[in-house]
Amino acid sequence: MRTDTGQIIHLADYRPTDFVLERVDLTFELDPTNTKVEARLIFHRREGVDPSAPLVLDGDELTLSGLLLDQNEIPASQYDATPESLVIRDLPAETPFEITVTTFINPEANSQLMGLYRTSGVYCTQCEAEGFRRITYFPDRPDVLAPYTITIIADKAANPHLLSNGNFLGGGNYDEGRHFAAWFDPHPKPSYLFALVAGDLGVVEDTFTTMSGREVKLKIYVEHGKEPRAAYAMDALKRSMKWDEERFGREYDLDIFMIVAVSDFNMGAMENKGLNVFNDKYVLADPETATDQDYANIEAIIAHEYFHNWTGNRITCRDWFQLCLKEGLTVYRDHEFSADQRSRPVKRIAEVRHLKSEQFPEDAGPLAHPVRPTKYREINNFYTTTVYEKGSEVTRMIATLLGKADFKAGMDLYFERHDGQAATVEDFVKCFEDASGRDLKQFSLWYQQAGTPLVTVSSSYEQASGTFTLSLEQMIPATPGQTAKEPMHIPLSFALILDNGSLATPTAVKGGEVTGDVLHLTERKQTFTFSGISSRPVLSLNRSFSAPINLHLDQTPADLAHIARHDTDLFARWQALTDLAIPNLMQAARDARDGKEIGCDPALISALLEAAADETLEPAFRAQVLTLPSEADIARELGGNNDPDAIHAGRNAILSAVAKAGAKAFLALFDSMKVAGPYTPDAASAGKRSLRNIALSYLTYADGTPARAAEAFATADNMTDLAQALTVLAHRFPDTPETTAALDTFLKRFDGNALVIDKWFSIQATIPGAGALARIRALMENPRFVANNPNRVRSLIGTFAFSNPTGFNHPDGEGYRFLAEQILAIDPRNPQLAARILTSMRSWRSLEPQRADHARSALMTIERSETLSTDVRDIVERMLK
Ligand code: 0A1
Ligand code: ZN
């Protein structure tokens, strides 16, 4: 493990390499514990660079075993090799030269899952961000692009498939039962996009004909026997390829596109050129074992990685500070894809829920950083929801500001101007400025300033003059390293809804720019005056969540109900109902803490039940309405001094009140939303299932017994219904005979299918209340819990820390102490995984003082360890600062 070097990298220090890499030729002789890697690299000195400047290559835990210059051994006096770097002096000043580096590495011992490693007997690589330097010494940075030729030699019986990036050149038998394969990738790429896979795998094949008529081979590799479970992934891949042609004009550019599913992977998936590697959780699905959410995730992640082929691979990042250039943009593209394939408003609601529950807390806590950070200590810690999700929202705002045509022109210009390059955020923004003629200087602050802007709004209506006045004030909170902030350009979609539900069309606007239904807030304080409004309108603001902000807008329950009933923007209707629920849930938490009786506003109950019963609305939307803000959402709204037990009790009381008032309606929904016929994962059926399952959950609140959920469990004919019924049983009626029996049945039925057993772990990891930790410890003793498999660790320990507010935040601090102990145990094996799970404590300062004290002590225990990885040290120190 690389322990902390303490070095901080700054954006301002960027400079290009001294040497230009022309070509890469790699030969791998695969062996589980002693793989030989020979790298032949052709370089030339960049024009103008000092002729005495040495070549500096990166390494990580490497030992050099051979070094040639133009095929001649380099004398030891001419270079310095350490595990972290190789420095070669006295290289030619003008002519190109070839360096041959030989290293031996041990894939079997690679528990970090970075570089070349083995998973279930399969060789596999992960090179983003800095994993390539664990394979060979190399200029391992994204602005060094070259075409690669790869030769893989391995035992034929154990590794019938030898895969790498690009097009297949050829292969054949080698010596002593070994064979070889050669691949050539003509598209210049950085080392983080390199991939190699070798092993004995099953394969599912198909083809795709591109818009210019080229036939592309599609192959998905999975463990033998799991081939049928890759069918949906293949379908999603073909739909993604088609969509990218239609929507963005992007065609695939190699003869073959491959996906490999592996069971040990630190993240979701990786977009290596022509050879995507996936966490098998995001490839494998069948009706018996996958939920609707699993299918939706597979569709989204297959699309995301495929879309990277243009946004990430053809155009990559100049340096890691530009990560959002590929990630924010690609998330935006996959969001749009899913919106087109499914229901746009429901997809938008899910995106915003996710953004608010994950990114908003990050932006409000000690780990806050700009979408484009300016410094980092460990780049692995910047694959964050701010870079990804807020990065996507920033791209979405560009689309909103420019409108469809100019946004498309800007994207086309970006693809044309920067194809084959390593670009920056400035390059990207400039394309939109050039295509639209709009100045985006102020807008670019979205990339630079961290923190979620708060927009405070007041309004008034004057009948006599028919004018509606809207005053807005923006405030961007201080974040680590950034105290004073400039006002931003915030695009706010709005509507003025009249009494009869129609939208007012103002005759004139003063005070600022309004384009279509978008109001441009650019000043710190700004007042807009709309004329020609015949009666007092209800303001609907930030429709479709046009800007990722917090909004303070005091609206009466009656006005919110009016929006919920009439807005033409379905997202805004959902938002209004949520805004109606939030004060109730906050008050309930306060009352629970003070031991007072908890009441629920009848207006909230009737608005929820009205929407739930509205058959003009799609079931998936109605299910979203009935899914009240989570305990974490309520904690965020409360802002500080939080008591998770009180929040939980308060929320439960509100759920019970809604359930009792709506029992009849929920029963009707539970019966009518049953989907007939065999399971299909389409959005319409999934929507019905989600409405039926939320109705089931309310019904158990209404009658207080496990009977109905137990029956739903017994009769479920698909994993969505089965897992939901089990969740209701376990969370609402833990330790009852019904729940124990159901958990047991589930385990027996799916034993051997690790991805399904992960659900069994997660459901139990989220059972609320004081017994949670004992349950986690017992589950960790279960032989199905494999401590070095990231999916198992995330399902049990990660889910407990991130998603069990009452269990994890036990008032005596046992949850935090447990987490500290686990982080210290995971870190030496897999620092990336340890660091990520530790971020579950990012909001510790908003806990009430007793819990916050315990949390601080646990963090300090971690900090005191002398052998922390850079990954964990970076997170823990930022959290304590
Ligand atoms: N680029 C990938 C995410 C990714 C990042 C780092 C990794 O290293 C373990 C793996 C994957 C994506 O956006 O999908
Ligand atoms: Zn990505």
Residue nearest (by alpha carbon) to ligand 1 atom 9 = 266
Contact by Cβ (8 Å): 800, 840: no
Is 345's pLDDT higher than 60?
yes
Residues 621-632, mean pLDDT to the nearest whole number: 98
Q: What is the pLDDT of residue 129?
A: 98
Is the CB–ligand 1 distance for residue 271 below 6 Å? yes
- By residue count, the chain amounts to 881
Q: What is the pLDDT of residue 810?
A: 98
Model pLDDT for residues 235-255, shown as the tens digit of each residue: 999 999 999 999 999 999 999
> Could you tell me how far CA 598 lies from the centroid of its own chain?
36
CA dist 420 and 426 (Å) reads 17
CA dist 281 and 298 (Å) reads 8
Contact by Cβ (8 Å): 638, 706: no
Residue nearest (by alpha carbon) to ligand 1 atom 2 = 270
Contact by Cβ (8 Å): 15, 46: no
Which residue, among 204, 221, 108, has the nearest Cα to 164 in the 3D structure? 221
Q: In this structure, how many other beta carbons lie within 10 angstroms of the beta carbon of residue 242?
A: 14
DSSP 481-521: TB-S-----EEEEEEEE-TTSPBP--SEEESS-EETTEEEE
Give the atom of ligand 1 at the shortest distance from the alpha carbon of 383: 5
> In the structure encoding, which two tokens stand for residue 616, read together?
């003009």
pLDDT band at 271 (very low <50, low <70, confident <90, very high): very high
Contact by Cβ (8 Å): 195, 164: yes
Distance 878 CA to ligand 1 centre (A): 22
User: Of the ligands numbered here, which is closest to the C-alpha atom of 327?
Assistant: 2
Contact by Cβ (8 Å): 522, 489: yes
> In the structure encoding, which two tokens stand for residue 197, read together?
């896979």
Say if pTM beats, i.e. exceeds, 0.90.
Answer: yes
Q: What is the pLDDT of residue 48?
A: 97
Model pLDDT for residues 815-827, shown as the tens digit of each residue: 999 999 999 999 9
C-alpha distances out from residue 13 to 8, 117, 317, 319, Å: 11, 33, 16, 11
Active site annotation includes 305: yes
Residue nearest (by alpha carbon) to ligand 1 atom 11 = 270
> In 380-435, which ranges are E strands?
422-423
DSSP 254: S
Alpha-helix runs per DSSP H in 614-753: 619-626, 631-638, 644-661, 663-672, 683-703, 707-715, 719-732, 737-750
User: Position 87: which residue type?
Assistant: V
Please state the φ and ψ torsions of residue 153, each to the nearest 5 degrees.
-120, 130
pLDDT band at 4 (very low <50, low <70, confident <90, very high): low
Mean pLDDT of the chain: 98
User: Position 90: which residue type?
Assistant: D
Give the atom of ligand 1 at the shortest distance from the alpha carbon of 301: 14
Is the CB–ligand 1 distance for residue 60 below 6 Å? no
> In the structure encoding, which two tokens stand for residue 646, read together?
């009180």
Contact by Cβ (8 Å): 126, 197: no
Is 443's pLDDT higher than 90?
yes
CA dist 817 and 621 (Å) reads 40
Residue to probe by mutation, ligand 1, list 128, 130, 275, most atoms within 8 Å of CB: 128
Model pLDDT for residues 718-749, shown as the tens digit of each residue: 999 999 999 999 999 999 999 999 999 999 99
CB neighbour list of residue 532: distance below 8 Å, 6 or more residues apart? 466, 504, 505, 506, 507, 508
Q: What is the pLDDT of residue 3?
A: 59
Is 1's pLDDT higher than 80?
no
Contact by Cβ (8 Å): 106, 34: yes
- What per-residue string of b and e applies to 667-703 under the rule 16 or more CB within 10 Å gives b? bebbeebebeeebebebebbbbbbbbbbbbbbbbbbe
Give the atom of ligand 1 at the shortest distance from the alpha carbon of 312: 1
Distance 11 CA to ligand 1 centre (A): 21
- Interior CA angle at 403 toward 400 and 407, to 5°? 95
Distance 874 CA to ligand 2 centre (A): 23
Is 520's pLDDT higher than 70?
yes
Q: What is the pLDDT of residue 862?
A: 98
Among residues 271, 305, 336, 358, the one annotated as catalytic is 305
Indicate whether this complex's ipTM tops 0.95: yes
CB neighbour list of residue 512: distance below 8 Å, 6 or more residues apart? 519, 520, 521, 522, 523, 526, 528
